[in-house]
Amino acid sequence: MISSDFTNVATPPIPEPPKTFKIGNTTFEYPDDKTIAECEQLGQEIISKFPPSQYCYIGFGYHPHILFAWLEAKNISSDTAQIPLSEFRLCPHDGYGLYPIKAPILPTSQQCEILYQHFDTYLEDLIKTAKHWLIIDVAETGNNLCSAGFALSHYLASHNVEKKIELLAIAENDQIPSTYFNLGMNLAMVQPNTGVQNYVTGLELFIILGGGTDIAPFQKFNWQDLREMSESPKKVEPSPQYQKLVEYLSSWKKHPQLDVAWGITLTTQSTS
């Protein structure tokens, strides 16, 4: 007779429900503890490789916002900025998908004027500092980030300011590192400790695949929209849901065990 005694069988833990908050009638989810722990891990890597005493941190587009929320929550640096500008591609290319990109080309003088006004809106204070600039964005082909570094270098020249600009690409763990190094980009990438391939982590889902864009400081604003304007739009103040994220990270004290490790590899190539 088969025993029906299953008292020694372990019951798998029940995952905690997502932590939520409401603004008006809309419900938002905070990132889970492991995603925040990954963010902290990557944030610590950034400030180790690019110390806040030497660098200003500039986010391009709305994807890397959780890193900037963490920097703000932990009072690590006040010399930060997040620029609303997505789909910013000045590098010509042939084909679609993971195409190789060519050297960036400046837009027309009128479009540059609007673009530089847009930069002024968010970088007015940072341009006055003696610190270098670290430009941070999610990267696949590298077109957006390469274009950002190129445009910002010309923007600084238009103000007769000399600064070192470094680029930090945040890429999925299945990308080819040399793609970014050859473009003069430093690379932030996660390595699963398990050795499993095609492993999507919580932070990758949140920051790269767009899982957290509903609590970003601003909505997506494309280069196509900016270059068709007659003047640069007013500065966008951080959204209420982003402010809630900063508050949540300020009081977050959990440190769950991670089965992945974020690291930053520095390039030996110049962005010029």
- The structural domains of the chain, with segments of one domain joined by +, span 20-86+108-265
Pairing of strands 20-23, 26-29: antiparallel
pLDDT at 188: 97
Asked if the model's pLDDT at residue 34 lies above 50, the reply is yes
Give the pLDDT band of residue 254 (cuts 50, 70, 90). confident
pLDDT at 196: 59
pLDDT at 236: 93
Among 201, 96, 189, 181, CA closest to 138: 189
pLDDT digits (tens, 9 = 90+) for 221-231: 999 999 999 88
Helices (H), 95-142: 109-123
Computed over every residue of the chain, the mean pLDDT equals 89
Phi-psi domain of 97 (left: phi exceeds 0; alpha: psi -120 through 50; beta: other):
left
| Alpha-carbon 79 to chain mean position | 16
Instruction: Report helix, strand or coil for 223.
Output: helix
Among 145, 154, 124, 113, CA closest to 56: 124
pLDDT digits (tens, 9 = 90+) for 9-22: 555 555 566 799 99
Among 252, 255, 262, CA closest to 47: 262
Asked if the model's pLDDT at residue 95 lies above 60, the reply is no
Give the pLDDT band of residue 100 (cuts 50, 70, 90). confident
Q: List Cβ neighbours of 142 (8 Å cut-off, separation of 6 or more).
A: 101, 169, 179, 180, 183, 185
Pairing of strands 132-138, 80-83: unpaired
Give the pLDDT band of residue 77 (cuts 50, 70, 90). confident
User: In the numeric block, which tokens belong to residue 271?
Assistant: 């962005």
